[in-house]
Amino acid sequence: MITENLAKALSDQINAEFYSAYLYLAMSAKADDLGYKGLQNWLFVQAQEEMAHATHMYEHLIERGALPSFGAIAAAEDAKELNDVRPIFEKVLSHEEYVTSLINNIASLAMKENDHATYTFISWYVNEQVEEVDVANTLLKKVKLIENNPGQLYDLDTELAARVFINPFPAA
């Protein structure tokens, strides 16, 4: 049985994952509006991943005998001020750093409450966030290097178009 504190923390994280999906969908629409079809695709896949994370956390709570709680999902930040690729990736990076702090807090709580099952479960997300921050940081560095070169931006956009959603939890 999972503790009430951890069940609440995971329920809050489910909400945060759905918010992340909203945010990435808003940014995806903005990228499309700017004409970056590849970036639009990359952000849309990111939104799909966030929804898969929320579902996976929901399933963990159910398996542990907890009743998830569902709060209101905040509206996504307005993407109107994200007027080019660089501010979009700056937002992606800052958001992934924020999510990392939330996941780390859950891992710390699981350790504090001696819940090995939840700690093992959330450890996947700890590692996933290392990857997410690294990818966002790498893409932002690329954009900073090439942002004044339309041909290279076009190549990066083409590269981002190749991303496909692969459910990280296919058995779930």
Annotation: CATH topology of 4-73+81-161? Ferritin (1.20.1260)
Query: In 3D, which of 66, 47, 56 has the Cα closest to residue 5?
Result: 66
Confidence of residue 78 (pLDDT cuts 50, 70, 90): confident
pLDDT: which is higher, 147 or 143: 143
pTM of the model: 0.95
Average pLDDT, stretch 2-6? 96
pLDDT digits over 24-34, tens only?
Answer: 999 999 999 99
Q: What is the mean pLDDT of the chain?
A: 95
Does residue 24 contact residue 48 with C-beta atoms inside 8 Å? no
Inform me whether the pLDDT recorded for 172 exceeds 70. no
Q: Coil, strand, or helix at residue 64?
A: coil
